[in-house]
Amino acid sequence: MTDISFVRSEMTGASPAPNPTSGPIVWVRKNLFATPSDTLLTLLGLAFLAWIVPPLYGFLIGRAVPPGGTVEQCRVENVGACWAYIASELDFFVYGFYPAVEYWRVNIVFAMLALLIIPLAMPKAPYKRLNAILFIIVFPIASVILLSGGIFGLRYVPTEQWGGLMVTLIISVVGICLSLPLGIILALGRQSSMPIIKSICVAFIELIRAVPLITILFMASIMLPLFMPAGVTVDKFLRALVGVTLFSSAYMAEVVRGGMQAIGRGQYEAAAALGLSYWKRMGFIILPQALKHVIPGIVNSFIALFKDTSLVYIVGMKDLLEAVKTKNDAIEWASPTQAITGYIFAAAVFWMFCFSMSRYSQFMERRLNTGHKR
Amino acid sequence: MAMLESAGQQPPRTAFYNDPVVRGIMYQVVVGVLLVTFVTWIVHNTSINLAAQGKTTGFDFLGKTAGFPIGFSLFEFTRESTYWQAFLVGITNTLLVAVIAIFFSTIIGFTLGIARLSSNFLISRLATIYVETIRNIPLLLQLFFWYFAVLKAMPAVKDSFALPLDMFINQRGLFVPRPQPDAQFSWIYVAILLGLVGAFLIQRWAKRRLEATGKRFPVFLSSAALMLVLVLVVWFASGAAVTFDPPVLNRFNFKGGLELPPEFVALAWGLSIYTASFIAETVRAGILAVNHGQTEAAQSLGLKDSDRLRLVVIPQAMRVIIPPLTSQYLNLTKNSSLGAAIGYSEVVNVFAGTALGQSGRAIEVIAMTMAFYLTISLLTSAIMNWYNARVALVER
């Protein structure tokens, strides 16, 4: 027996390391330079960035006049954004012509708003029902009383003096609080089996959705005085509020209707089989599910409403945009970049609110996407 | 309870007001009466108010001379023109800016929507930044920005910015060369029309042949070739030519060319930029909505990549994209009314603004303006319903 076996007498050389599958270089190769066309796109993108970022930086920060600067600094050639202008007119942008000694009232309203909205938005915060009632019913009334005054020893401040961010926020928040219940009622009416009520709701929703907000505000400012009995005048602020709310409620109704249609027939039938009355069926069974489904859609309507408040200048209210536009013509701060700085500031404020709302709606969408995904 | 089921028993007696049918009728009667009362009250108030102001009503004012000029119109409008003509100018201006903005916003929006889904990190991030910035800023603010902060800060006519293709931009707007087709040029249109008819016939014939024999025919290539050959043959045969009349700077203003006022440029640009961000989201959602299983199924059937896209992915994505896309187009048309804020002569500005002020016929003017938007909206939704019924998924 020859015992043949082969045993290697020396170690084999180490095989080359496998290609890395993670790490920054791999990431760059995979996400930026995967194919020739990808590489070309990346280079184009980089060129675009190189073209846009330095001038933008120079305008917004590098050559800009910081808050506290003087108007002379803003008047030099090739100056960047004039932030000193924004800083010096900030009070007007936030409060409009509201008397300076009464600013605390506006600040209390802002604080109430924050205190009510933050727990309402947090899914884990307790007392949701109480919170919602406070926000939807108590807050609008309290804020209007506090802001306009005239009772409880508060000085009366006519709405002509309201302005700036305050008007934008109040109109949008009150508009949101009013348009949601109104939209739910319209959606219920549209789904109703009673022909007259259904046709009224359909006609209202479709008419409002067909025309631009600007024509509704025109109507509020020109036609409303004609519709009222002689001698009755409707406050400008109220006109803006009514116009915006009616407009938004039609869109809200369609969102809610979408949620109601997404609920299986079985839910309606089961609720009816339990012998619940119409309002109990809707209030306890259908709407809680429907509204939960469409929270992202509702928040999107809120974003639209918030942006639409910039149109209230039609009825003569000075919202944030209109306040900025007015001050952009002010001689004291006349400088080459005055207007552009003002608009950038207003855009940043609007963007901040809308972007946080849209992020919130995406967060809720992910959160609600649990039980219903098949 | 079991007693009720036995034959001959009457149903339980309930008060008539607890009968759901009676209740339904009662509720509707109450709502109807309230609505009629409300409308009567408003009509009553309005007639009193109008009488007090000494105003008359009716549409007779439409035939009267308007007596105001309009800055921008596609056809002749003078101070002697009527209110009805002013209405028409407003409508055409609204539709003009809407069509142009729809064209550009669709191109930008589809590009961005696809870019957001790109596997290229930089490109998808840039597209995301664009979409998230633009759609979270009110359109009115953007229009003010483009009009007051950008176009009004453009150089005066003398120092106009020269753009490529003989275009100039300055405070007074955008100046582009005016195309001037000569008399023979209409033959080219005939050729294009013939080409379209030919392409349609080729497509029908190719489909029938494919179904009968399974043989494919390059429809797109042959149609394009047919079109090109037809146009070229007609071009040389008729000697048609198109010349461009470029804007030339005189001492005070540009001579020749086509002048687009800054209001129009700002509005068309702003609307395109703004709506594109919404269209991008629509397109992205539509593409994402096509299940990956569809792609895999198409591949396993052995379809080549172009057929997979053309026959499986794009039709399903378009089914999701088109309804919201149409509503974006409708939104764009309605949003063009914001042109009134920067002085573009569209229907709200010309008719609900100037004409209303001049004639004092508030109710008629607002009603006509709203009816115009309502018509567009109803037409669009009628077309959409027809389309949806056509492409709807037929399930068991």
Q: What is the 3-state secondary structure (H, E, C) of chain B?
A: CHHHHCCCCCCCCCCHHHCHHHHHHHHHHHHHHHHHHHHHHHHHHHHHHHHHCCCCCCCHHHHCECCCCCCCCCCCCCCCCEHHHHHHHHHHHHHHHHHHHHHHHHHHHHHHHHHHCCCCHHHHHHHHHHHHHHCCCCHHHHHHHHHHHHHCCCCCHHHCEEECCCEEEECCEEEECEEEECHHHHHHHHHHHHHHHHHHHHHHHHHHHHHHHCCCCCHHHHHHHHHHHHHHHHHHHHCCCEEEECCEECCCCEECCEEECHHHHHHHHHHHHHHHHHHHHHHHHHHHHCCHHHHHHHHHCCCCHHHHHHHHHHHHHHHHHHHHHHHHHHHHHHHHHHHHHHCCCCHHHHHHHHHHHHHCCHHHHHHHHHHHHHHHHHHHHHHHHHHHHHHCCCCC
Q: Copy the structure tokens of residue B193.
A: 């029309």
Q: Is residue B293 part of a domain?
A: yes
Which stretches of chain A drop beneath a pLDDT of 50?
372-374
Q: Copy the structure tokens of residue B30.
A: 């109450």
Instruction: Give the residue among B283, B377, B386, B370 at the shortest CA–CA distance from B330.
Output: B377
Q: Is residue B215 part of a domain?
A: no
C-alpha A247/C-alpha A233 separation (Å) is: 21
Residues of B in contact with A200 (CB under 8 A): 31, 35
pLDDT for B34: 93
* Mean pLDDT of all residues belonging to chain B: 83
By Cβ distance, the residue of A197, A226, A307 closest to B46 is A226
CB contact under 8 A, B378 and A355: no
Q: Copy the structure tokens of residue A142.
A: 């309290």
Give Cα separations from A305 to A207, A217, A251 (angstroms): 18, 14, 10
CA distance A213 to chain B (A): 8
Please state, as a whole number, how many other Cβ atoms lie within 10 Å of the Cβ of residue A368.
Answer: 16
Nearest chain A residue to B357 by CA distance is: A222
CB contact under 8 A, B138 and A195: no
pLDDT for A350: 93
Q: Where are the domains of chain A?
A: 165-368
The interface residues of chain A toward chain B in range 262-321, judged by CB-CB distance below 8 A, are 303, 307-308, 310-311, 313, 321
User: Is A346's Cβ below 8 Å from some Cβ in B?
Assistant: yes
Q: What proportion of chain B, given as a percentage, has pLDDT over 90?
A: 21
Q: Is residue B171 part of a domain?
A: no
Residues of B in contact with A307 (CB under 8 A): 136-139
CA distance A349 to chain B (A): 9
pLDDT for A108: 85
pTM listed for this prediction: 0.84
Q: Copy the structure tokens of residue A254.
A: 């369609």
Residues of B in contact with A207 (CB under 8 A): 370, 374
Between these two residues, A49 and B245, which has the higher pLDDT value?
A: A49
Virtual torsion, Cα B282, B286, B287, B291, nearest 10 deg: 150
Nearest chain B residue to A313 by CA distance is: B341
Question: Residue B82 pLDDT more than 80?
Answer: yes
Q: Which range is least confidently modeled, A346-350, B95-99, B182-186, B207-211? A: B182-186
CB contact under 8 A, B341 and A313: yes
Give the count of domains, chain B. 1
pLDDT for B83: 85
pLDDT for A373: 44
CATH 1.10.3720.10 fits A165-368, yes or no: yes
C-alpha A228/C-alpha A241 separation (Å) is: 17
By Cβ distance, the residue of B27, B31, B140 closest to A321 is B140
Q: Could you list the residue range(s) of the whole structural domain that residue B343 is in?
A: 83-164+258-391
- Range with the largest mean pLDDT of A68-72, A301-305, B149-153, B227-231: A301-305
C-alpha A247/C-alpha B347 separation (Å) is: 20
By Cβ distance, the residue of A34, A48, A339 closest to B149 is A339
By Cβ distance, the residue of A48, A340, A343 closest to B141 is A343
Query: What does DSSP say about strands B248-249 and B254-255: parallel, antiparallel, or unpaired?
Result: antiparallel
pLDDT for A31: 81
The interface residues of chain A toward chain B in range 218-237, judged by CB-CB distance below 8 A, are 218-219, 222-223, 225-230
pLDDT for B102: 93
The interface residues of chain B toward chain A in range 195-254, judged by CB-CB distance below 8 A, are none
Residues of B in contact with A209 (CB under 8 A): 377
Q: Is residue B292 part of a domain?
A: yes
C-alpha B335/C-alpha A346 separation (Å) is: 20
CB contact under 8 A, A45 and B122: yes
Residues of B in contact with A351 (CB under 8 A): 133, 136-137
Instruction: Give the residue among B10, B167, B136 at the shortest CA–CA distance from A310.
Output: B136
Instruction: Give the residue-averaged pLDDT of B104-129.
Output: 90
CB contact under 8 A, B148 and A343: yes
User: Is A63's Cβ below 8 Å from some Cβ in B?
Assistant: no
Q: Quote the DSSP letter at residue A64.
A: P
Residues of A in contact with B48 (CB under 8 A): 229-230
Instruction: Give the residue among A304, A303, A337, A339 at the shortest CA–CA distance from A321.
Output: A339
B264-305 pLDDT, tens per residue?
989 999 999 999 999 999 998 888 888 888 888 998 998 887
Instruction: Give the residue-averaged pLDDT of B105-114.
Output: 92
pLDDT for B1: 44
Residues of B in contact with A53 (CB under 8 A): none
pLDDT for B2: 47
User: Is A114's Cβ below 8 Å from some Cβ in B?
Assistant: no
Residue B385 maps to which CATH number? 1.10.3720.10
pLDDT for A144: 82
Q: Copy the structure tokens of residue B202.
A: 């080729």
